[in-house]
Amino acid sequence: MKYLISILLIFMFVSNSSAEQLPDECKVFEDKLNAKLEIRKEITNWLPHVMNRTNIKNIKFHTLRFKDQIDYYGIKISYGETSFNFCHPHFISTDGVLIEKKIMVNNGFTSPKEKLVFSILTSYNCGNPCSNSLVYTLSMPLDDLNGVADYRGLTIREHRTISTWYVDHLTFNEAYGLHKKLELDLYWKGNWYKVE
């Protein structure tokens, strides 16, 4: 009987523990923290490493902070008048953004359309070193600069510092540039490369 009670107590403790907080739309954090989101400066030569496979030049990134909160950060991604605010807690870093044009379907009732797709590479459990890699996807309409961003959320989770899938999807020069910015040696398509 005491084993049963012990098991029940452990089960109750585990089931009541709070879920991990992963990156999400900034509105989620605004509501949770009851804090105002502030747009800071435009990102020009700072992480995340941006790899733009399109000829579109009017894509902008800005840093985001929450007023009176030091443990949450984010980036605002803008294309024309369409924008999306991507936020995360301090133990997650945004490392890379791959920008592509892709055919996307919003749901089973609409026809496929070419969209501007952002694959956002993040590192999770950052200490020394980061232990997980998370990839998030979001898309924006190409034909409507006043459109709405479609946030697909977490699409890949790997238990390694940098997602092998993400890196293997990059060209060699894109992967090398990302790893140079992160100051890491490159493992790309089954081979190691020294990054200098």
Q: Is residue 9 part of a domain?
A: no
Tens-place pLDDT, residues 105-129: 766 667 788 999 999 999 887 666 6
Domain containing 102 equals 19-193
pLDDT for res 8: 46
pLDDT for res 11: 43
Q: Is residue 6 part of a domain?
A: no
Measured between alpha carbons, how far is 68 from 48 in angstroms, rounded to an integer? 24
Contacts of 85 (CB under 8 A, 6+ apart): 25, 26, 27, 37, 64, 74, 75, 76
pLDDT for res 120: 95
pLDDT for res 17: 37
Q: Is residue 37 part of a domain?
A: yes
Q: Is residue 10 part of a domain?
A: no
Count structural domains, the chain: 1
Q: Is residue 79 part of a domain?
A: yes
pLDDT in tens, the chain (196 residues): 665 555 544 444 433 334 556 788 888 888 888 888 888 777 766 668 999 999 998 899 988 888 877 788 889 999 989 999 999 888 888 899 999 999 987 666 677 889 999 999 998 876 666 778 999 999 999 988 778 899 999 999 998 888 999 999 999 999 999 999 888 899 999 999 999 8
Q: Is residue 13 part of a domain?
A: no
Residue type, 192: W
Report field, pTM of the whole predicted structure over 0.85: no
Q: Is residue 3 part of a domain?
A: no
Q: Is residue 11 part of a domain?
A: no
Q: Is 14 left (phi over 0), alpha (psi -120 to 50) or beta?
A: alpha
pLDDT for res 3: 57
